[in-house]
Amino acid sequence: MRWWLLFGVLAAGCERAPSADTVVNHETGPTDTGTTTDTQTTDPTVCVSGTTWTGGDRESPLMHPGMDCIACHTSRNEGPNLIVAGTVYSRLHEPDDCNGRSGIVVEITGDDGQVFEATTNPAGNFFLYAGTALVTPYTARVLVDGVEAARMIGAQTEGSCGSCHTVDGAEGAPGRIVVGDP
């Protein structure tokens, strides 16, 4: 279906050198109750999940899906130190704070062949904590139900996925990291 979109989305990237990570499964955190409407529309900024983050800046692994996690954590000197972070969505142009796809595995492979996995939480967010040696440049692929849905075309050194994979795309990325409709 829309798996081909991720090839272009993951191929574009920003250049900023990250440091290190650990494997994380982010299936915990408070459930958000925000909702949106009209999830079936073809509007390019529709929130497919129909739910949004409404917790403001309350710290949570579910906070601010679609936003640049690493830039926020760094600029505010708050939250855990992250080396790779982003959100997986169903469509290319979903709005900030819209909850993305849950249970999607993002597999990151360092230049030395070491593989790290991050599973998206109920907000669609995935991240790897600083602490272990992710050798850059790295590549990534996305797994849905254990099957490769997409593979990054080019290697990257930037781990702040949300800095380029914005609602409209930046630095050559056409928009969000996407795996298609659930």
Please give the pLDDT value at position 182.
Answer: 76
In a domain, 165, yes or no: yes
Cβ-contact 135, 114 below 8 angstroms: yes
In a domain, 38, yes or no: no
In a domain, 120, yes or no: yes
Q: What is the mean pLDDT of residues 28-37?
A: 34
Whether omega before 137 lies within 30 degrees of 0, making that bond cis, reads yes
Per residue in 82-113, pLDDT tens?
999 999 999 999 999 999 999 999 999 999 99
In a domain, 151, yes or no: yes
DSSP H helix total and E strand total for the chain: 2, 11
Residues β-bridged to residue 144: 147
Q: What is the mean pLDDT of residues 4-11?
A: 38
In a domain, 132, yes or no: yes
In a domain, 37, yes or no: no
In a domain, 97, yes or no: yes
Task: Measure Cα distances from 134 to 5, 68, 165 in Å.
Answer: 26, 20, 21
Domain span at residue 24 reads: 3-32+44-178
Q: Where are the beta strands (DSSP E) in the chain?
A: 20-22, 24-25, 34-35, 51-52, 82-89, 105-109, 115-119, 125-133, 139-144, 147-151, 177-178
Number of domains, the chain = 1
Please name the residue that has the structure tokens 């290190």.
20
CA–CA separation, 162 and 179 (whole Å):
16
Look at residue 27 and tell me whether its pLDDT is greater than 80.
no
In a domain, 149, yes or no: yes
Q: What is the mean pLDDT of residues 15-28?
A: 32
Residues β-bridged to residue 69: none
Please give the pLDDT value at position 151.
Answer: 80
